[in-house]
Structure 1
């Protein structure tokens, strides 16, 4: 059975990678699980979006070596500056990582400064939209607008692969929003918090939920 399509909490038994392009800092407690899972959806023929990609965050760089066409957008204007991106990589991961960083990524990725609730892309552009640990930073109204934009820019056969912190986002609220905007889960769904759920106490007790969505 292909477990990757199940929407559920990450478990400690899930694949974990401490290095994903860069050595991931301990404070990025969920990324070592999120990135290996999200990477399972990537195909060489895909046109993809890393939505709310962050400045130094490595998933967009992974995509650029794998997919046919890669777009990455963030509200932070530094996303448009290769110099600023390298500075942030140094701040987060160290000078050695900057020295080793393949500059081809700047040519292989289409960067954009963008509000996720007003994406600058045409209807039905993307095979996959990735949104990793972004939604928990937004209120319910904005999250609804963003998911509407994801639906608009997704191909009819496309997938939205996203993760978010719980209980920062209430699962019942999330389900109501995706239903209202015309999305649905792609695959089985578990809302039960397992005993071995991945968690962090760095910012209060947080868990990480993963979801795979498609057009309803």
Structure 2
């Protein structure tokens, strides 16, 4: 009987977000769909998608990161055009409205430059998402650490490791859901990391078109 080596997992999945892996297990990401990784970095969350026949796109503000993702795609999925991967600020994506079945945005939103920038990114991710499509976002929040963080101004907080991050709270997330008409596919899931930050997973669906 042939067994795959456990070491092959890293080659298949790279450093995929474990909560995104959960969406794969639930069948919400399928071969042939159009998927955007917004803030893709060097492609850690889309390595498996490329190999699985997903029509992957990526956007990142770093030209160096996009070059690495294009190199990864050329190796794992040579039929994916290099133009699928673009340098862009996430609040101004160069993609058509209603283009993607799934939009990912993992470990990015807490780097927003202002509350308006944060909302602008979310609205832009929503714009390019097809009716009936899924938005998966994971970002640092104040949930579970209310009153325990060093507030700088507004929703900006100094993190224990030094940088200042924009941290949404449950109220802001609920406000966005209402304004977008989003339907939660999962309850909010928040993980406490070493008592100094939390990471919240937000998975929502865009209402299907009525026409």
| Smaller-chain TM-score bracket | 0.5 to 0.7
The alpha-carbon deviation at position 38 of structure 1 amounts to 3.8
Matched, 1:136 2:110: yes
SS at match of 1:117: coil
Quote the Cα distance in structure 1 between the aligned partners of 2:170 and 2:11.
28
Matched, 1:158 2:117: no
Higher relative contact order (CA 8 A, sep 6+): 1
Match of 2:201 in 1: 210
SS at match of 2:182: strand
SS at match of 2:91: helix
Match of 1:170 in 2: 169
- Deviations, residues 161-188 of structure 1 (Å, cap 9, x unaligned): 11112213211112212323x2423335
Answer whether contact 2:35 2:103 (CA < 8 A) is retained: yes
Structure number with larger C-alpha Rg: 2
- Deviations, residues 128-180 of structure 1 (Å, cap 9, x unaligned): 10111111111321121112112211111111111112213211112212323
Mapping of residues 73-84 of structure 1, within 5 Å: 73-82=59-68
Give TM-score scaled by structure 2 length.
0.68
Quote the Cα distance in structure 2 between the aligned partners of 1:104 and 1:214.
29
Q: 1:73 to 1:52 in 2, by over 3 A?
A: same
Runs of 4+ in 1 over 6 A off after TM superposition: 83-86
SS at match of 2:175: helix
Query: What is the root-mean-square deviation of aligned Cα atoms in Å?
Result: 2.9
Mapping of residues 36-75 of structure 1, within 5 Å: 36-40=21-25, 41-55=28-42, 57-75=43-61
Farther off after superposition, 59-68 or 101-110: 101-110
SS at match of 1:118: coil
Give the structure with the higher percent helix: 1
Quote the Cα distance in structure 2 between the aligned partners of 1:189 and 1:83.
31
Aligned residues: 170
Q: 1:78 to 1:188 in 2, by over 3 A?
A: closer
The gaps in structure 1 that reach 5 residues or longer are 1-17, 25-30, 87-100, 192-196
The gaps in structure 2 that reach 5 residues or longer are 1-8, 143-166
The alpha-carbon deviation at position 82 of structure 1 amounts to 4.0
SS at match of 1:173: helix
Give TM-score scaled by structure 1 length.
0.66
Q: Pick one of 80, 93, 101 that aligns with 1:119.
A: 93
Quote the Cα distance in structure 2 between the aligned partners of 1:102 and 1:83.
9
Quote the Cα distance in structure 1 between the aligned partners of 2:103 and 2:66.
20
Quote the Cα distance in structure 1 between the aligned partners of 2:47 and 2:105.
14
